[in-house]
Amino acid sequence: MISCYFRSNLDTAPPLWYILSDMPQLEDFALLQETAGQGDVSAQYKLGIHYLSGAEMPKDPEKAVLWMAKAAEQGHADAEFRLGNCYYEGEGMEKDGGKALYWWTKAAEQGHYFAEFRLGNCYHNGEFVPRDESKAIFWWTKAAEQGKIATLDGLEPGYRNKNDKYDIYDGGSRAGNLGRAASWFIKTAERGNIAAQFNLGLYYRENKGIQRDPDVSMERVSKAAQLGDAYSQAILGHCYGEGDGLPRNFTQSVHWYTMAARQGDARAQMEAGLSYYFGKGVPKDDHQAVFWHTKAAGQDNAMAQYNLGLFYYNGEGVQKDSGKAAEWWIRAADLGNVSAQNSLGLCYQYGEGLPADNEKALYWLTRAAEQGLFMAQFNLGDFFHANSRGGEDREKALHWWTNAAEQEDIAGQYNFDSVDGEKPDYKVSWWTSAAEQGHYFAQYKLGICFLVGDGVPVDSGKAAYWIKSSAVQGFAGAQYYIGFLHQEGEGLPKDLEKAESWYAKAADQGFSAAADALEKIKRLRNSSVSS
């Protein structure tokens, strides 16, 4: 499925400069204020707008709200609409979505087309009211039927997910309403409306009120992107990158992501940064990766903040700085990014970039582990094991390692060895699972179990099989033991040349026992030659 969103911007409203252009110039402020004070509703509204805009007098949102409210209470539709906006934005007062909805409804009931549009959005998005597609379509249609281009722009079901993803809203609208919505998109698209081009493309894609046609879908979204629509550009970046509806083309993907990123789209900024980091469609450039991630992180994109922390922690594209890494992980963790919560827990546990604090380490690791992140579950198990004060902590360690292991976290599976020999048959079953997935250390540990009879009967053949599986992956300890088994003829044919070869591999990695064994074989060979 294409990963994107329908356009529905609550900010669509007539700009203040447009309203002021229809008003006479403010030549006599005292007269306007006097007239407003006498209860003239038009003067009250105009005075509110002037205070709100700050065009010809110092801007004063609180006074703007005061006069706008007086006009709204007398039933002035424009004042009702603008007062709703002030409540929504928290301009001149505390934010209050319920009151915003109240005043938009009052204005919409008088036929105010922008209020009708916003009311439709509220019902579609479930903002301040229960989601109700039939009411959303009702209000959008009333707005669109007035023929104002701004409201036709607004007949767009859906919303943007700010932080991490572009989502398709798959609502419960009736097919008849979807068809009617599609007809509005066609009308507005034919008039060159960018947002309509975008949404019409999604309707063709998802078979919403129009016969499904992926080619037309991409054509419409592409046209909106070429007209400069950042959302559409970001979608094209995704489609080219994933081969979703378009041939996979990383060069085109990063091109469109960058176009959207330059317009401030936070997700596109992060995706452009990832393209530079992995060298997909552009030469790998860690500095550009950091640049775009910093842009996105500054807009509270939690994933970008987490990635930026990794760049600082590893010194990729920036000077290595665990303190700055921790700062970004704190911001991402507060926004709910589970990977950042795990990393932040480790920072507090080991005192990296932050003062060591076991209480905070436990808090963040637990938050991440409880959300199902297997690495956090593994790390939390390690935390309880490292800080064990007895049986209860050991049981907690085992509990979290078990959770991690059940998600096929191979580290969690072989780590049962840390529980001081408890439940040997249980830990062998987890090592077997991890070994069968190809993890070199689990293969080595399982081989040693068969070699010495730890939790399983002694079986030198199985021991040799699993240890060699680890050795061929380059694990020095396993290479040493394969040399030993060849030297002793245990589970493998006795062969000093092969023993010497495996010892040499381990010794080259600095395994001192292998170097000692290799020296002994050389001495034996020299003594046999001299005799």
HEC sequence for 154-217? HCCCCCCCCCCCCCCCCCCCCHHHHHHHHHHHHHHHHCCCHHHHHHHHHHHHHCCCCCCCHHHH
Task: Dig out the tokens for 91 from the structure.
Answer: 């301009």
Give the per-residue pLDDT at 322.
92
Give the Cα separation of 303 and 296 in Å (integer): 9
- Say if residue 167's pLDDT is above 90: no
State in words which class domain 438-530 has: mainly alpha
Between the ranges 150-154, 198-202, 509-513, where is the mean pLDDT highest? Answer: 509-513
Give the per-residue pLDDT at 475.
81
Give the Cα separation of 6 and 8 in Å (integer): 6
Give the per-residue pLDDT at 11.
38
Residues 6+ apart with CB under 8 A from 429: none
Give the Cα separation of 458 and 490 in Å (integer): 12
- Say if residue 252's pLDDT is above 90: yes
Helices (H), 279-301: 286-297
CB 256 within 8 A of CB 223: no
Angle, alpha carbons 337-97-298 (nearest 5°): 35
Determine the 3-state secondary structure of 82 from DSSP: helix
Task: Dig out the tokens for 377 from the structure.
Answer: 């579950």
pLDDT band for 318, please (50, 70, 90 cuts): very high
> In the chain, what are the domain boundaries?
1-173, 375-426, 438-530
In terms of pLDDT, which residue wins out, 361 or 509? 361
Q: Which option is the CATH number for 1-173: 3.40.50.2300, 3.30.565.10, 3.30.300.30, 1.25.40.10? A: 1.25.40.10
Q: What's the pTM?
A: 0.52
* Domains 1-173 and 438-530 equal at CATH topology level: yes
pLDDT band for 146, please (50, 70, 90 cuts): low
